[in-house]
Amino acid sequence: MKKFVISILIAAIVSPAFAGVIKESQAKREVDDAIEALAAMDARADLATFLPQREAYSARTYHNKARNFLADGDYDKASFYAILSTNYSKISVYRGLLAKADRDKLERAAQGAVVPSLKTAGLKGKGKSDIFAGTYTLKTVYNVRSVWRVDKIPALHDGMTEKLMTIAGVMKQQGDVKMNIETKARSEEISEKYAKDIKDFMIEKGIDASRIEYVNKKGRDSIEITLSGVKH
């Protein structure tokens, strides 16, 4: 593209065929178009941080050249640079709109991804509240059906660590989210081990311990995780 523009520019400057082709009225009209296009670009305050610097700079540079050549009576060059300026202004706005659309899409995706992400992690929202909860079996957490002694509790199952990684991602994204773990087992000792395994994993993944609480009770084996303060 750059080489193409340069080749046209050189031809416009050195070739006799270009000399005296453009009339003053046409050059003025095209310079006015460039001024309007540049003003329209500058008026897009919503795109201020998205306008591509290179194209915006080129639009202004060619605009100044066009006005200078028009003042000097060189209508061929004034027209040429005016058209370049107009096109670069329009390209800048177009690319700015695309960049903004991409940013907005990413933000919507990040916000909207919370609910489906937590769903894949086994947590469901309670109505329209900020609470998500889910209950897991030992088969899900440890890939075993029952545990009789603390020293027989295996490491967290790979499937469960993936779920916890997803939850940790949401908690990192939303710093106000708190986790509550409620576990039950045939003994409080075993129950506490369930809770600590999950809490320790979350801490290893960068979640502050102050954001995680747990309660362990005697009862039928189960592990319930509840997140509060979730924005969705």
Per-residue pLDDT tens over the stretch 49-97: 888 888 889 999 999 999 999 999 999 999 999 999 999 999 999 988 9
pTM comes to 0.54
The mean pLDDT of the chain is 87
> What's the total number of domains in the chain?
2
CB 170 within 8 A of CB 117: yes
Residue 60, classed as helix, strand or coil, is: helix
Residue 102 shares a structural domain with residue 122: no
Q: pLDDT by residue (tens digit) across 133-177?
A: 999 999 999 999 999 999 999 999 999 999 999 899 889 889 999
Say whether pLDDT at 197 is over 90. yes
Instruction: Say what the pLDDT of residue 8 is.
Output: 46
Strands of the sheet with 212-218, listed across from one edge: 124-125, 132-136, 222-228, 178-185, 212-218
CB 223 within 8 A of CB 198: yes
Instruction: Say what the pLDDT of residue 173 is.
Output: 86
Instruction: Tell me which of 78, 111, 144 is where a domain ends.
Output: 111
Residue 97 shares a structural domain with residue 199: no
Instruction: Tell me which of 111, 144, 179 is where a domain ends.
Output: 111
Residue 106 shares a structural domain with residue 138: no
Q: Which domain holds residue 132?
A: 114-228
